[in-house]
Amino acid sequence: MADNPRPRVAVVNDYEVVVAGLASILAPFDDRIDLVDAFLIDEPIDGPVDLALYDTFGRQGLEEVQLAKLLGRPEVHRVAVYSFNFDDDAVGAALEAGAAGYLSKATPAKELVDQLEQLAKGEQVVSGPHGPGRSPKEDRGWPGRDLGLSEREAEVVALAALGRRNADIAEALFVSVDTVKTHLARSFRKLGVHNRTELSALIHRRQSFRRLLPDGE
């Protein structure tokens, strides 16, 4: 690392509300980490960073592509994945693609900062999929939370609104097709829509689902 004893950390995702929420839970620890940026995947980064923390919301199954993008940027030294999904294949694929760590979203903020410090020192960290859980003060935001969607429901909805088939969503999230159908059915009821066309129209109108993608999706 550079002369600054605090590791320089940036948080990354395609959704503004996701990076803002993750940045907010790390902000109280500015005596330990230097949170230099919170950016969307293809935006410029504010200077070099020791560690980019990549939140997988809405991008499950695409970690290898996104990791390659991040690790190909000269200003990014190391990258860690931040996810609820601890399927062995997902963890292994991320580490093989070059991730320095794979961290659980169930990790309380203080412990998460401990792990970020370890990663910035050059260690590899893979945290467990389960933990004591977050306190309300550590709650992150995600697209669709304001509509009553759980984070997993919102993730399924986001992928469905981009035209992904149930089988594709199931493969990306490492769940069964029936589980995807259940999440969609619940989401349809909560959102008051009856089909994917109505769902897609609603999702693309919502500010919280705004995203920046190079292919214009």
Closest CA to 170 of 156, 149, 153, 190: 156
pTM here is 0.72
Output DSSP code: residue 171: H
Which helix (H) or strand (E) element contains residue 102? strand 101-104
Q: What is the pLDDT tens value at each position of the chain, 217 positions in all?
A: 445 579 999 988 878 788 888 888 899 999 999 988 877 777 777 779 999 999 888 765 556 777 888 888 888 999 999 988 777 778 888 888 899 999 998 888 999 999 999 999 999 999 876 554 454 345 567 788 888 888 888 889 888 887 889 998 887 777 889 999 999 999 999 999 999 999 988 888 887 776 543 343 4
pLDDT at residue 47, rounded to an integer: 79
Where do the domains of the chain lie, and which CATH numbers do they carry?
8-138 (3.40.50.2300), 145-209 (1.10.10.10)
DSSP 64-99: HHHHHHHHTSTTEEEEEEEES---HHHHHHHHHTT-
